């Protein structure tokens, strides 16, 4: 049995692939920007995601789409805190904050968050590691080439998977050195964050095919491929598919990620992903019995 504890909830990840539901309370996220910008709409959407099968809710107040600009701590908090404060008293599942800012993370933790999803792997704010260790919450460390503003300008790799593993090994060691418990760490290869797509090289597809290599790090693996650009590029015919037309590719990516080693899948489309992963997890159980 392999388990992961996030907040007060312990999950058996040897039996079930966890679903992290995405809630962007932003005006400009690439797929759902502006849809849940009001607190009431955000709360209603989260309740529906939980009903549809989400195990974790990940709340983001700043867009990390390619080319996105930074916003202030105060603006980010204004977007996320009202939602977190209301949800923390109503939800029985863990709430995650998608931020790289220590002040935002600390205020969110005080409001009820128990997981920090940091796209910079503790590099964006020198105080973030202390906030996570002091509050004993979980953290997801992601690989990214550059920053959201620059990551897709000209990413290059000598050996894609090796580079990701070396980076995540260094960041997990940094986290442990800074008193973050190993059992509180999750790793993410950063699908779409500084990865090549659409020019004959599909880094994100290679990552999915080699996810099992990340398992050697010894940490649960999170994958977030939902509705991303590479899906539009790979699945489109004459033109890339728009974000709202990437459901089938997103489901395929979720199934492949779970099959090849992901423990948590971060998605927009909860009900459809939940149904797909129920079948994938059932097949994996039978495979384990016969090998």
Residues recognised as catalytic: 228, 266
Q: What angle do CA 254, 255, 259 make, to 5 degrees?
A: 115
Give the 3-state secondary structure of residue 5: strand
* β-strand pairing of 95-98 with 222-223: unpaired
Whole-Å CA distances, 92 to 21, 41, 98, 113, 124 = 14, 19, 19, 12, 30
Q: What radius of gyration, in Å, describes the C-alpha atoms of the chain?
A: 18
* Cα distance between residue 146 and residue 217, in whole Å: 22
What H or E segment, with its residue span, contains residue 209? helix 203-209
* Cα distance between residue 210 and residue 213, in whole Å: 6
CB neighbour burial string for 200-210, b if at least 16 within 10 angstroms, e if fewer: eebbbbebbeb
Strand ranges in the chain using DSSP code E only, listed in sequence order: 3-6, 9-12, 18-24, 56-60, 95-98, 115-118, 138-142, 185-188, 222-223, 264-267
Which residues, including other chains, have CB under 8 Å from residue 260's CB and lie 6 or more apart?
208, 209, 210, 211, 212
Which residues, including other chains, have CB under 8 Å from residue 73's CB and lie 6 or more apart?
101, 103, 104
Per-residue tokens: 287: 């495979």
* Cα distance between residue 217 and residue 83, in whole Å: 34
């Amino acid at each position: 049995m392999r388990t992961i504890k996030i907040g007060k909830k312990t999950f058996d990840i040897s039996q079930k692939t966890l679903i992290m539901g995405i809630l962007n309370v932003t005006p400009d996220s690439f797929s759902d920007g502006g849809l849940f910008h009001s607190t009431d709409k955000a709360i209603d959407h989260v309740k529906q995601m939980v009903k549809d099968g989400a195990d974790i809710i990940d709340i983001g107040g700043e867009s990390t789409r390619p080319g996105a600009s930074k916003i202030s701590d105060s603006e980010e908090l204004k977007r996320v805190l009202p939602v977190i404060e209301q949800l923390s008293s109503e939800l029985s599942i863990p709430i995650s904050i998608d931020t790289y800012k220590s002040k935002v993370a600390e205020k969110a933790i005080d409001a009820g968050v128990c997981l920090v999803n940091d796209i910079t792997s503790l590099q964006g704010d020198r105080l973030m590691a202390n906030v996570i260790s002091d509050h004993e919450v979980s953290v997801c460390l992601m690989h990214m080439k550059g920053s959201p503003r620059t990551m897709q300008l000209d990413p290059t790799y000598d050996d894609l998977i090796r580079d990701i593993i070396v980076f995540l090994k260094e960041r997990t060691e940094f986290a442990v050195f800074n008193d973050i418990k190993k059992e509180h760490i999750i790793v993410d290869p950063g699908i779409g964050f500084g990865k090549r797509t659409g020019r004959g090289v599909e880094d994100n597809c290679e990552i999915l095919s080699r996810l099992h290599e990340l398992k050697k790090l010894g940490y649960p693996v999170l994958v977030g491929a939902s509705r991303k650009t590479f899906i539009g590029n790979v699945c489109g015919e004459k033109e890339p598919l728009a974000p709202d037309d990437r459901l089938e590719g997103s489901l395929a990516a979720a199934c492949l990620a779970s099959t090849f080693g992901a423990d948590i899948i971060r998605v927009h489309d909860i009900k459809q992903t939940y149904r797909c992963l129920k079948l994938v997890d059932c097949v994996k159980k039978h495979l384990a019995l016969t090998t």
